[in-house]
């Protein structure tokens, strides 16, 4: 750990309190700011809402001179500048959307050395005239926001970001920070390589959001369930996510009819309408926004008190992003996911339409991870954080349905698990769950007969569970790391943990949904 009693750090703490009005750094913020103040190029990975901004704003105020902040979106930059100016921190932006007057004013204050933070898109920063101006000013610090844009492995690659190494090399004495909420190892490595950051200057904050209560309920009568939930949050701001535009329109109409203050948001509305609805929600002119995944990018509303998933998200990444829009002020917020197998079928249908086999397999795997979260009887945070590579989950979670109700019916499924695992073993550890279930249930499917799996001792021994229950069990076996799924071919392999269960050393408990009320559900949602 770095010393936290340097004069720089004392002054950082002072700024935190006196300029931003916060008592304490969040733990990773402290490490990150320390690292920067000690002149080490630093990579900061924090979930959305984790507090990335302070990680560059505070060092910017500690250092003498101008800090350059690179950001990909004009709207994000303008937001940041507005917030800083409200705090009396001299910050400006330079971009082509400014009027000539404002642009010239900003240039003049930069030349006068009056500005502490300058926000730029990468292509603006590299314009010769701007670069020339910046090189005539003292620039001790460069912050690169949304740094995943630098990597082709990221989901938002921007070619302009590729040239940032050139910008950085123009300021050999400046320290650099890269910030992002995307943490896959490949993207991280890419950022570090391109920006000259060493492994020991990489800081990854926990992705846990302890103030979010996570609940999954079987989708029985979705509308009634949603209404009952919203009723508990009267006059509070909330988002309800639906899978389709028509779903959004229908649900908005029903809620409106029932007297709620509600607006729709999806890509089928024109941009004017979308902007107005978003603005009204942010300003509390409407309590509820019913939306597709199109809603939420870059909105900063701190007091969203709940998020409902009316339909199943297609992977944990989306689920996490969407629930992450609740409780950004740190106060408690409530997240409800309505989970029905009908939705799974719809997502699978979309996946089946994909052309690329590799993408298909990845999408299926990601859907299965989402299902494992929805089906688990463990703490919901375990599969959620595992997805982000966090293996240690605090044992003190009291903010999920499973940790709160011990009376959820877990059953001892050791024997069924042993049957499944042993069938994986006997079929050579290269088949997916569907095939294993076929063998266990004595199917005459072509693939079973062709491989002569009807001759195995595990053939036709699994009638205590139906096909759906076996599939649920298989996802729990993967989630609990008894099985590993091949990313490329989808085949299941046993792990050491599986051996322990097979030998009877360790029991296996899980929760299987009983007969699901899908017919009723479809009737009530259509």
Instruction: Identify which of residues 30 and 402 has a Cβ nearer to ligand ADP in the complex.
Output: 30
In 3D, which of 220, 232, 239, 219 has the Cα closest to residue 338? Answer: 219
- Cα 94 to Cα 86, 101, 164, 386: the distances in Å are 18, 12, 17, 41
Residue 30's H or E segment, with its range, is helix 27-37
Instruction: Identify which of residues 330 and 442 has a Cβ nearer to ligand ADP in the complex.
Output: 330
The percent helix, strand, coil of the chain (3-state, each to 5) is 45, 15, 40
Nearest approach in angstroms of CB 409 to ligand ADP is 39
Instruction: Identify which of residues 33 and 291 has a Cβ nearer to ligand ADP in the complex.
Output: 33
388-424: b or e for each residue (b if 16 or more CB lie within 10 Å)? bebeebeeebebbbbbeeeeeeeeebbebbbbbbbbb
Q: CB–CB of 159/72 below 8 Å? A: no
Q: Which does 379 bind (CB under 5 to 8 A by kind): ligand ADP, Zn ion, none?
A: Zn ion
Q: Which does 26 bind (CB under 5 to 8 A by kind): Zn ion, ligand ADP, none?
A: ligand ADP
Q: Which does 48 bind (CB under 5 to 8 A by kind): ligand ADP, Zn ion, none?
A: ligand ADP
Q: CB–CB of 70/141 below 8 Å? A: no
Q: Which does 36 bind (CB under 5 to 8 A by kind): Zn ion, ligand ADP, none?
A: none
DSSP E strand stretches across 345-481: 411-412
Q: Which does 400 bind (CB under 5 to 8 A by kind): ligand ADP, Zn ion, none?
A: Zn ion
- The pairs formed by 318-324 with CB atoms below 8 angstroms and a separation of 24 or more are 318/293, 319/370, 319/373, 319/384, 320/47, 320/207, 320/384, 320/387, 320/388, 321/48, 321/296, 322/239, 322/241, 322/293, 322/296, 323/209, 323/212, 323/214, 324/47, 324/48, 324/49, 324/209
Q: Which does 397 bind (CB under 5 to 8 A by kind): Zn ion, ligand ADP, none?
A: Zn ion
Instruction: Identify which of residues 69 and 336 has a Cβ nearer to ligand ADP in the complex.
Output: 69
Q: Rounded distance, CA 306 to CA 233, Å?
A: 8
Nearest approach in angstroms of CB 181 to ligand ADP is 7
Nearest approach in angstroms of CB 86 to ligand ADP is 12
Instruction: Identify which of residues 193 and 408 has a Cβ nearer to Zn ion in the complex.
Output: 408
Instruction: Identify which of residues 53 and 474 has a Cβ nearer to ligand ADP in the complex.
Output: 53
Chain residues that interact with Zn ion, rule: CB under 5 A: 379, 397, 400, 403
Instruction: Identify which of residues 202 and 378 has a Cβ nearer to ligand ADP in the complex.
Output: 202
Nearest approach in angstroms of CB 50 to ligand ADP is 4
Q: Rounded distance, CA 252 to CA 224, Å?
A: 14
Q: Which does 188 bind (CB under 5 to 8 A by kind): ligand ADP, Zn ion, none?
A: none
Nearest approach in angstroms of CB 381 to Zn ion is 5
Chain residues that interact with ligand ADP, rule: CB under 6 A: 22, 24-26, 29, 46, 48-54, 302, 328
Nearest approach in angstroms of CB 347 to Zn ion is 25
Instruction: Identify which of residues 64 and 406 has a Cβ nearer to Zn ion in the complex.
Output: 406
Nearest approach in angstroms of CB 27 to Zn ion is 21
Q: Rounded distance, CA 263 to CA 276, Å?
A: 10
Nearest approach in angstroms of CB 378 to Zn ion is 8
Q: Which does 72 bind (CB under 5 to 8 A by kind): Zn ion, ligand ADP, none?
A: none
């Amino acid at each position: 750990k770095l010393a936290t009693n340097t004069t720089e750090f004392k002054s950082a703490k002072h700024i935190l309190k006196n300029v931003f009005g916060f008592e304490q750094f969040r733990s990773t913020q402290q490490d990150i700011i320390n690292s920067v103040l000690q002149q080490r190029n630093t990579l900061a990975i924090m979930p959305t809402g984790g507090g990335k901004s302070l990680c560059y704003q505070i060092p910017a105020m500690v250092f003498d001179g101008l800090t350059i902040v690179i950001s990909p979106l004009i709207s994000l930059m303008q937001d940041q500048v507005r917030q800083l100016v409200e705090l009396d921190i001299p910050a400006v932006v330079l971009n082509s959307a400014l009027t000539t007057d404002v642009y010239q004013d900003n240039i003049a204050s930069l030349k006068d050395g009056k500005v502490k933070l300058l926000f730029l898109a990468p292509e603006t920063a590299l314009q010769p005239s701007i670069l020339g101006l910046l090189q005539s000013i003292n620039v001790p610090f460069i912050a690169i926001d949304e740094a995943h844009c630098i990597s082709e492995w990221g989901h938002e690659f921007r070619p302009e970001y590729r040239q940032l190494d050139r910008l950085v090399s123009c300021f050999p004495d400046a320290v650099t920070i890269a910030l992002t909420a995307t943490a896959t190892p490949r993207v991280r490595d890419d950022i570090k390589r391109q920006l000259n950051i060493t492994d020991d200057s990489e800081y990854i904050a926990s992705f846990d959001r302890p103030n979010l209560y996570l609940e999954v309920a079987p989708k029985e009568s979705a509308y009634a369930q949603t209404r009952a939930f919203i009723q508990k949050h009267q006059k509070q701001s909330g988002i309800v996510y639906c899978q389709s535009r028509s779903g959004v329109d229908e649900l908005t109409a029903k809620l409106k009819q029932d007297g709620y203050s509600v607006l729709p948001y999806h890509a089928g509305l024109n941009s004017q309408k979308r902007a107005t609805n978003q603005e009204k929600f942010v300003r509390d002119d409407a309590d509820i926004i019913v939306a597709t995944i199109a809603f939420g990018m870059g909105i900063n509303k701190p007091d969203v008190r709940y998020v409902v998933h009316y339909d199943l998200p297609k992977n944990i990444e989306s689920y996490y992003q969407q629930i992450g829009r609740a409780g950004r002020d740190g106060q408690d917020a409530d997240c409800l996911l309505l989970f029905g197998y009908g939705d799974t079928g719809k997502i699978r249908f979309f996946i089946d339409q994909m052309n690329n086999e590799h993408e298909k397999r990845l999408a299926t795997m990601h859907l299965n991870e989402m299902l494992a979260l929805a089906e688990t009887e463990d703490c919901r945070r375990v599969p959620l954080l595992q997805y982000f590579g966090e293996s240690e989950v605090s044992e003190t979670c009291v903010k999920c349905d499973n940790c709160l109700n011990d009376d959820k019916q877990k059953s001892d499924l050791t024997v069924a698990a042993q049957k499944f695992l042993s069938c994986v073993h006997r079929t050579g550890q290269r088949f997916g769950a569907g095939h294993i279930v076929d063998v266990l249930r004595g199917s005459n499917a072509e693939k079973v007969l062709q491989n002569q799996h009807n001759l195995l001792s595990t053939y036709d021994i699994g009638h205590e569970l139906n096909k759906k229950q076996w599939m649920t069990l298989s996802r729990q076996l993967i989630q609990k790391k008894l099985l590993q799924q091949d990313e490329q071919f989808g085949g299941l392999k046993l792990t050491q943990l599986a051996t322990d269960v097979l030998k009877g050393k360790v029991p296996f408990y899980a929760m299987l949904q009983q007969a699901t009320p899908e017919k009723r559900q479809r009737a009530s949602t259509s």
